[in-house]
Amino acid sequence: MYLFTTAFLVLTTSTIQYVSSDCGCSTNRNTDCKNDLNPSHKYLKESNEIRDNNDELFSASNMVFLEKSTFEMGTNKPVFESDDEGPLRNVTLNSFYIDKYEVSNREFYDFVKETGYRTEAEIFGDSFLFEMCLPEEDRDKYQDLRAVQAPWWIKMKGVSWKHPEGPNSTIEDLMDHPVIHVSWNDAVKYCDYKGKRLPTEEEWEMACRAGLRQKLYPWGNKLTPKGQHWANIWQGEFPKSNTAEDGFVFTSPVDAFPPNKFGLYNMAGNVWEWTQDNWKNDPDTKVKKGGSFLCHESYCWRYRCAARSSNTKDSSASNLGFRCAADKIRS
C-alpha cells in the first residue's frame, strides 16, 4: 500500500544515527513541532503584503492564466539519473490555469465540510509522519513502524490532514499552511470538486520555470540570492538537525516566500505536489514535483524545477500536498 520510491532511498541506513542533540524543533518539541523560529515573513516584504489580504489568499479563483507556449523541460545535467530528469527538450503546451498556491488546510477544510469527504489516510487509519514531530522520548516506541530505508518516517496511527503533526495535533494554527497527508486519489477528488484537475507534469514544470531558460530554481540558479531564502527547504544536517534558517522547521504558509515571475508561490519546497502523470508507466505510481521542507542538497536536491519523484497514488505523508490546474475557470 505505502511505497516510498523516492528521495529517501538514496541514503544508506548506516549513515543515519539518532542522537539526542538539537534536531531543530527543540523550542517546542512537545507541542507538535510548531514553527516559531524567525518566520521568513519578517524580512520578505513581498510576502507580508500578500499575507495581509486573506480574502485574496482564499478566494475561489485564485489561479494564474498561462498562455499557450513552448518551454525547455528537463535537463541535460541530471542530478538523479534514475529519476529520468533529462533530456532537455522543447515542450509545447496549450494555455491553462494553475493555482497560485498549494491547497491550504482552510480550503481543504471547507471542501470536507461541504462534502463529508474522508481522505485515504483517515480510512486506512494512518499516514507517514516525520519523526521530528514527536517528542524525542517517544520516538523509540515506534521502531517497528519505521520505513526500512527511510527510518525517519513513522507510519503513525491517527495522523491525517486534520492531525498533521501527530495524532493529538490540530490544524487550528495551520489554516494557511498546505494540506498534507493527502493521497493522489484525495487530490484528484478535491480538484474535481472545484471544477479543476491536477496539473500534468509538463504544465507543472512550465509553471515552475516561469519563463526562465534552463535555470535550476523558479527564481534562477542561486539558492539564496541577496542572502535571502526563497523556498522552505532544510538547512543543517539531514535528518538530525534542522537549523531552519529559512524560518520554518515544518511547513510554511502557502504564501510565504516570494512568488516566481508567473506569480506562483512555493513551487520549489514547502510540500511536494502531486501531478497527473504516471511514474515510469506505472499507473499506480504518480509523479510529484518541487521537493519539500525536508529536502537538503546533500541527499535530496529535488527542489529544482527539473527534479521529479514519485509515490504510490494511495500514499500520504507529512511533506506531500498539491495544487490544482484547469482549462477554464468555473464562473
Ligand X SMILES: *[C@@H]1O[C@H](CO)[C@@H](O)[C@H](O)[C@H]1NC(C)=O
Give me the residues that bind Ca ion (CB under 5 A), please: 232, 246, 248, 266, 270, 290, 293
88 counts as binding ligand X under rule CB under 6 A: yes
72 counts as binding ligand X under rule CB under 6 A: yes
145 counts as binding ligand X under rule CB under 6 A: no
CB 276 within 8 A of CB 191: no
Say whether 269 sits in a helix, a strand or coil: coil
Least distance in Å: CB of 28 to ligand X?
Answer: 14
- The answer to whether the Cα torsion of 297, 300, 304, 306 is positive or negative is positive
CB 175 within 8 A of CB 105: yes
Binding-site partner at residue 265 among ligand X, Ca ion, none, CB < 5 to 8 Å by type: none
Q: Nearest to residue 140, comparing CAs of 18, 21, 16? A: 18
Least distance in Å: CB of 94 to ligand X?
Answer: 17
Distances (CA, A) of 39 to 1, 28, 175, 250, 263: 36, 15, 16, 11, 21
Binding-site partner at residue 40 among Ca ion, ligand X, none, CB < 5 to 8 Å by type: none
User: Which one of the spans 54-62, 88-96, 222-230, 235-243 is the region binding ligand X (CB under 6 A)?
Assistant: 88-96
Residue with cell 484547469: 326
Exactly one of 2, 31, 145, 167 binds ligand X (CB under 6 A); which one?
167
Binders in 168-187 for ligand X, by CB under 6 A: 168
Binding-site partner at residue 107 among Ca ion, ligand X, none, CB < 5 to 8 Å by type: none
Given the complex with ligand X, which of 52 and 172 has the nearer CB atom?
172
Q: Nearest to residue 317, comparing CAs of 92, 108, 156? A: 156
User: Grid coordinates in use for 144?
Assistant: 517497528
The three-point CA angle 41-45-51 to 5° equals 60
Given the complex with ligand X, which of 159 and 325 has the nearer CB atom?
159
CB 148 within 8 A of CB 9: no
Binding-site partner at residue 248 among Ca ion, ligand X, none, CB < 5 to 8 Å by type: Ca ion
Question: CA 91 from chain center: how many Å?
Answer: 24
Q: Nearest to residue 178, comparing CAs of 20, 319, 5, 31? A: 319
User: Which one of the spans 40-48, 164-172, 229-237, 318-326 is the region binding ligand X (CB under 6 A)?
Assistant: 164-172
Given the complex with ligand X, which of 71 and 274 has the nearer CB atom?
71
Binding-site partner at residue 89 among ligand X, Ca ion, none, CB < 5 to 8 Å by type: ligand X
Binding-site partner at residue 167 among Ca ion, ligand X, none, CB < 5 to 8 Å by type: ligand X
Taken as a whole, the chain contains a residue count of: 331
Given the complex with ligand X, which of 141 and 328 has the nearer CB atom?
141
Least distance in Å: CB of 181 to ligand X?
Answer: 15
Contacts of 152 (CB under 8 A, 6+ apart): 8, 16, 130, 131, 132, 146, 239
User: Which one of the spans 8-16, 37-45, 166-174, 281-289 is the region binding ligand X (CB under 6 A)?
Assistant: 166-174
Binding-site partner at residue 270 among ligand X, Ca ion, none, CB < 5 to 8 Å by type: Ca ion
Contacts of 15 (CB under 8 A, 6+ apart): none
Given the complex with Ca ion, which of 238 and 293 has the nearer CB atom?
293
User: Which one of the spans 21-29, 160-168, 225-233, 271-279 is the region binding ligand X (CB under 6 A)?
Assistant: 160-168
Least distance in Å: CB of 269 to ligand X?
Answer: 26
Residue with cell 490544524: 171
How many C-alpha atoms does 265 have within 13 Å on its Cβ side? Answer: 24
Residue with cell 517546542: 28
Contacts with ligand X, residue ranges (CB under 6 A): 72, 88-90, 166-168
